Structure 1
Amino acid sequence: MKSKLEILKENLDKAFGKKLESMRESLGQLTIVIAANNLLDLATQLRNDQTLGFEQLIDLCGIDYSRYRNGRYDGPRFAVVSHLLSISNNWRLRVRVFAPHDDMPILPSLIKIWNSVNWYEREAFDLYGIIFEGHPDLRRILTDYGFIGHPFRKDFPLSGYVEMQYDSEKKRVVYQPVSIESREITPRVIREDRYGGLKH
């Protein structure tokens, strides 16, 4: 008897064939890679085709591959991974889509297919700078309105670019250059035999 994962693989292969760039199994779950220009058509079919039946998008996140494999990766920099759930068929699927351009990552919004993606796409835009074409309200969701940059990008400095401080004379919050100096923290190695009252 075939497992649910084997049935799902067969159904995906039958529905999409060569339209899938890849299909891989890991940790008991399938991940498919779809080209950006096929995303909306294939996502609609993932939802509407009863042999697949992915009624719900339960998560979406951005990924920056710029330092993947210690910088030895030479593929596209930005990707979006969506996690889909089929309640009727009781299975899950990961869908990965790479943005075609690294300098301006743009992907089509999935909001007309799964409206639950609204805030997930806003989060990926805010933290990675990925633009979702067709999103009705693409604006920052976690950082401040005046925030500069996208903090989950691998080239974003840990200290940020600016810091906020309340100016009592101006009676408002002001932005100023970061005053934190970068430093290297070396962990303390404890070599005492009776440290903390413990006997070794």
Structure 2
Amino acid sequence: MASTLEALKSAAEAALGANILSATIDRHELTLVCRADTIIETCTLLRDTPSLRFEQCVDLCGMDYSAYRDGVWEGSRFAVVCHLLSVANNQRVRVRFFATDDDFPVVPSLVDVWPGVNWFEREAFDLYGIIFDGHPDLRRLLTDYGFVGHPFRKDFPLSGHVEMRYDPVQARVIYQPVTIEPRENTPRIIREENYGG
């Protein structure tokens, strides 16, 4: 297994060259960290290089590293992580691209490389606020169109900003500021005298 991963790492380094910032093997998985400005070139090479042939992007997600390792993280805050599958070679690889601007994270869209990432990119935009430049239809996917913020960001409040409810007087759904009081949920344990006996 290790020799196969080492061979894959060597093939990826040879094909991608300076596009790779780091390549690590940990827990029997190869992770490549690549420059975000080369995302299309890098992924096209991963797909089309005969020794790699990662035909499928099985997952694409956003990540917020602002509180990673108890806030000790030094580096860009937002990343796009792709999990690729080579059916031909029966191999997998994880590729991570960090957005250079923490205030307005933008990376190029991979829809032209793998059309199936369309909704994955919409989900990462909706939940993390990562903009995919060149995406054909970048709009919210899971939250409502009027939703404020991006709920998977570490700085998003636990109770949100607004709540939605049906108002019978107006006969429609309305938005209003959150009225939920923050509380601490402590499990209540009840011990019965003859429990389990």
Alignment TM-score, normalising by the size of structure 1: 0.93
Decide whether aligned partners of structure 1 residues 76 and 196 sit closer, same or farther in structure 2, where only a CA change above 3 A counts: farther
2:113 corresponds to: 113
1:130 corresponds to: 130
Cα distance in 2, alignment partners of residues 159 and 173 from structure 1? 19
1:162 corresponds to: 162
1:10 corresponds to: 10
Decide whether aligned partners of structure 1 residues 4 and 173 sit closer, same or farther in structure 2, where only a CA change above 3 A counts: same
Give the alignment of 1:171-186 within 5 angstroms.
Answer: 171-186=171-186
Question: Structure 1 counterpart of 2:103, which letter?
Answer: D
2:153 corresponds to: 153
1:31 corresponds to: 31
2:50 corresponds to: 50
Cα distance in 1, alignment partners of residues 111 and 19 from structure 2? 22
Identical positions, percent? 58
Structure 2 SS opposite 1:63: strand
Cα distance in 2, alignment partners of residues 30 and 43 from structure 1? 15
The alignment of Structure 1 onto Structure 2 pairs a total of residues equal to 197
| 1:107-152: CA deviation from partner (whole Å, max 9, x where unpaired) | 0000000001000000000000000000000000000111110000
Structure 2 SS opposite 1:138: coil
Question: Structure 1 counterpart of 2:35, which letter?
Answer: A
| 1:173-195: CA deviation from partner (whole Å, max 9, x where unpaired) | 000011100012233456x5x55
Decide whether aligned partners of structure 1 residues 20 and 172 sit closer, same or farther in structure 2, where only a CA change above 3 A counts: same
Decide whether aligned partners of structure 1 residues 79 and 198 sit closer, same or farther in structure 2, where only a CA change above 3 A counts: same
CA contact (8 A) 2:2 2:28 kept: no
1:81 corresponds to: 81
1:71 aligns with 2:71: yes
How far the C-alpha of 1:74 sits from its partner, in A, is: 2.2
1:198 corresponds to: 196
Cα distance in 1, alignment partners of residues 6 and 73 from structure 2? 30
4+ residue segments displaced more than 6 Å: none
1:104 aligns with 2:98: no
Structure 2 SS opposite 1:154: coil
CA contact (8 A) 1:109 1:133 kept: yes
Cα distance in 2, alignment partners of residues 138 and 16 from structure 1? 28
Root-mean-square deviation (CA, aligned residues, Å) is: 1.6
| 1:76-109: CA deviation from partner (whole Å, max 9, x where unpaired) | 1100100000111110010000000000000000
Question: Structure 1 counterpart of 2:65, which letter?
Answer: Y
Cα distance in 1, alignment partners of residues 165 and 183 from structure 2? 22
| 1:54-77: CA deviation from partner (whole Å, max 9, x where unpaired) | 111100010001111111212111
Flag structure 1 segments of 5+ consecutive residues without an equivalent.
Answer: none
Decide whether aligned partners of structure 1 residues 164 and 23 sit closer, same or farther in structure 2, where only a CA change above 3 A counts: same
Cα distance in 2, alignment partners of residues 114 and 22 from structure 1? 23
